[in-house]
Amino acid sequence: MKRTPFFAFIMLATLVGMLTGCERYDIASITIHQDAFNDTTRLVNYTAQVTDDGGCARCIEAGYCFSYIDAEPSHTCFYSTVVPMVRDSMMTFTDSTKYLTFQWQRQLPFIETAGGEGGEENDTLLYFFRSYITTNAGTFYSAVDTVKVPRSY
């Protein structure tokens, strides 16, 4: 049995994996910024920016988490919706930065039982957003941004 091509393929894949590894395994930093919110259409726009890749140039996945129940949405939260935006790519350079930047738009659903504030009337709906990035070193999250919407919308 001749296995030389298979062995060569395994060695090449190992070499490529070693070359695309991390320089260091530090915490990646990511920021989130709410660009706009339209009360009429209930659309919210966000921009996320990876400001430090933690030494891992390989971005396995990046996106955002959303919840109207849990104040810290994440991959491990049962009440969170995770929306991947970027998958399996190297960090890309954009116009004014040296780091991965991505944007998204989300229409906020009207949820009768959403978390809120405002006494017995509970007149404000709260929606929680945060961006994330997954590298070879793990998954890292931005700070949570809260969108407050009057229940009457």
- Judged on CB neighbours under 10 Å (0-12, 13-18, 19+), 128 is buried
Q: 26, 55 in Cβ contact below 8 A?
A: yes
What digits encode the pLDDT tens for the residues 80-114? 999 888 776 555 545 445 678 888 899 988 766 54
Structural domains of the chain, with CATH: 24-150 (2.60.40.1940)
What digits encode the pLDDT tens for the residues 8-51? 666 655 545 544 567 777 888 999 999 999 888 889 999 998 88
Q: Strand 43-52 and strand 58-67: pairing?
A: unpaired
The 3-state DSSP class for residue 140 equals: strand
| Distance of alpha carbon 76 from the chain centroid | 13
